[in-house]
Amino acid sequence: MTGWTEFALAFLAFFLAHALPVRPPVKARLVAGLGPRGFTLAYSLLSLALLAWLIVAAGRAPVLPLWSWAPWQTYVSLAVLPLACLLVTLSLGRPNPFSFGGLHNERFDPARPGLIRWTRHPLLLALALWAAAHLPPNGELAHVLLFGAFAGFALLGMRLIDRRKRRQMGAAWSDTLRHMRDGTTTAPADPTASRALDLALRIAAAALLYILLLRLHPQLFGVSPLQ
């Protein structure tokens, strides 16, 4: 298998795995067979395995430089990635009826939307930032295609999910957005100390995630971002 053939197959497998299982008829059958948690676990493991294959395949593809490397390009990645990590830790496990990744969406309070006030899709925004930040220091064709496709996938995904959620939520879509703009509360206020502690823990988790990514980058991808 040539480098470009493997790269193309990995690309196709990755995007089919993210397009077919989430289609309502297919997802309904998979959830019925695996259960909600089983589906989430299987889907997550499959996504990680295909992502790893795609990254490895990009490294095996022929090197066709599009621009030269310069030290400032690495600093772009190092500066942007903390924001991507923060978006992930601030959004995971929190209610978000507008996108994926939220838990207990029935508890979402439009008057206290938190991060959702600025972006309905924080995880997709984190993916777009991660991909865009990796473009400057990776100026060969395979990696430009890889990270460019991820950035485009994330941005397009925001529009597709908006359309799907608007259809699923009906009038609740516009009502929730209006309450979010007006600050009309629907739930009792959280204790200030509890909210502050939760925020501090999530910021600490973002810092830890960033450090782990820097430390593990050479082992996972064969390149140190600090050199």
Beta bridge partners of 65: 140
| 118-169 confidence digits (pLDDT tens) | 888 998 999 999 999 999 999 999 999 999 999 998 999 899 888 888 888 8
d(CA 183, CA 181): 6
Taking phi first (over 0 means left), then psi (-120 to 50 degrees means alpha), and beta for anything else, what does residue 138 get? beta
Residue 63 has pLDDT above 80, yes or no: yes
- Sequence-distant (6+) residues with CB within 8 A of 16 are none
**Predicted pLDDT at 87:** 93
Residue 66 has pLDDT above 90, yes or no: yes
The pTM of this model reads 0.84
Element holding 185 (H helix, E strand): none
Place 8 in a pLDDT band, splitting at 50, 70 and 90.
very high
**Predicted pLDDT at 185:** 55
**Predicted pLDDT at 190:** 58
Better-scored residue on pLDDT, 157 or 1 = 157
Average pLDDT, the chain: 85
Query: In this prediction, what percent of the chain has a pLDDT beyond 70?
Result: 93
Residue 116 has pLDDT above 90, yes or no: no
**Predicted pLDDT at 148:** 95
**Tally of residues, the chain:** 227
| 160-191 confidence digits (pLDDT tens) | 888 888 888 888 878 888 877 776 555 555 56
**Predicted pLDDT at 25:** 84
The crossing angle, in degrees rounded to 10, of helices 36-60 and 24-34 is 120
Place 110 in a pLDDT band, splitting at 50, 70 and 90.
confident
d(CA 89, CA 60): 32
What does each C-alpha distance from 203 to 79, 89, 199, 200, 208 come to in angstroms?
Answer: 16, 7, 6, 5, 9
Element holding 167 (H helix, E strand): helix 141-169
